[in-house]
Amino acid sequence: MHFPPAEQQQASLVMERIKTAIVGASGYTGQELLRLLLVHPNVELVAATSRQEAGKPLSAVFPRFRKLLGAELPFMEPDPDAIAATGAKAAFLALPHGVAAEIATALLERGLKVIDLSADFRLRDAAVYQEFYAHEHPAPALLEKAVYGLPEIRGEEIAKADLIASPGCYPTSIILPLVPLLRAGLIDPETIVANSMSGVSGAGRKADLSLLFCECNESARAYGIPKHRHLSEIEQELSLAAGEPVVITFIPHLIPVNSGIATSITAKLRPGTTLAAVGEAMEAAYGTKSFVRLLGPGVCADTKHVTRTNFIDIGWAHDARTGRIILTSAEDNLGKGAGSQAVQSFNLIFGLGETAGLQSA
């Protein structure tokens, strides 16, 4: 068949689209993945699973997607054979920890690339997983295969991986500001304290008395202390950056906004370390990175500038009275802290431009 040049080009683009599945597509993170992948120029969404919504079109459950190409795709049961039968080459898993590992194993066996947004493959040590998640790891043999999915830190490894462990929202906001300083030996790891504030969507789309509007509105509270589950992956990644064990104090808070994470971190500077050296380390690490915006000294990160994007903003200041550096970061917990960061890894795996489908302000 003869195509005019424009139609031929359009047909070629359609042929190049990567068939993709979302497993657990009805939660907040799943909805964010739908928002991104339905309009991603290189993606054909061929499967979206939800036990509760199986058989209903995406547009019926999420009316905001009406008239988007692919929005009439019906939710299906999370059956690995059925997912593989769609021709999917990759699957995003937006499932609870402990549940994701089983289907990840099944999909890997069927030849799919798997990007897991649960905590099941983030830790290298099954014993640490059991300590923080209170049950044995369901697939310990896969831990060595998984790559921790921070594209700014492990981009080359991600591009070659079959299994990506996409980081948690809090860890992303803490690890990225600290890694350059730990690698350069500019701060004392024993003095790190991180305080984070998260929007309510970070707790997931579920019925929970503590998450009702009247319980959260006009309220702010700490929770998950002194040993939030995300500490496990935060300390793992910081220890790798420092080349020595790192144990930190981490205090998460719930605040009455839908989405966004604001994190403030303090640590003692090593003797002789200047504010200029901090800026140089940040610039060397992230100056060319598409989704890290360095605000510079004296500027505090603000969630209103990052929600609905894949950006993380990082600022810093020197407290001369205490000899501490103060780092601030802001990100969207459903974006750079979850869905869009997973898409960033997807882009790397399939050799696409890293920013494909993620360029929004």
Cα distance between residue 158 and residue 165, in whole Å: 10
- 346 three-state secondary structure: helix
Tell me phi and psi for residue 282, to 5 degrees. -65, -45
Residue 155's alpha-carbon distances to 163, 172, 345, in angstroms, are 13, 15, 8
User: 130 exposed, middle or buried (CB, 10 Å; 0-12, 13-18, 19+)?
Assistant: middle
Q: How many helices (H) and strands (E) does the chain have?
A: 12, 13
Cα distance between residue 179 and residue 167, in whole Å: 15
The residues carrying an active-site annotation are 169
Give the total residue count for the chain. 361
Task: Mark out the alpha helices in the chain (DSSP H runs).
Answer: 5-15, 28-37, 58-61, 80-85, 100-109, 126-133, 151-159, 169-183, 213-216, 231-242, 275-286, 339-349
Cα distance between residue 17 and residue 342, in whole Å: 17
Query: Six-digit token pair at 8?
Result: 């031929």
Listed as own residue / partner, the contacts of 29-32 with beta carbons closer than 8 Å and 24 or more positions apart are 29/94, 29/117, 29/204, 29/334, 29/338, 29/339, 30/94, 31/62, 31/205, 32/334, 32/335, 32/338, 32/339, 32/340
Query: Six-digit token pair at 37?
Result: 């992948």
Residue 199's alpha-carbon distances to 183, 219, 254, 258, in angstroms, are 30, 12, 6, 5
**8-state DSSP, 17:** P
- 322 three-state secondary structure: coil
CA–chain centroid gap for 109, Å, is: 24
Cα distance between residue 255 and residue 291, in whole Å: 25
Q: What are the DSSP E strand ranges found in 215-311? A: 221-222, 249-254, 261-268, 292-297
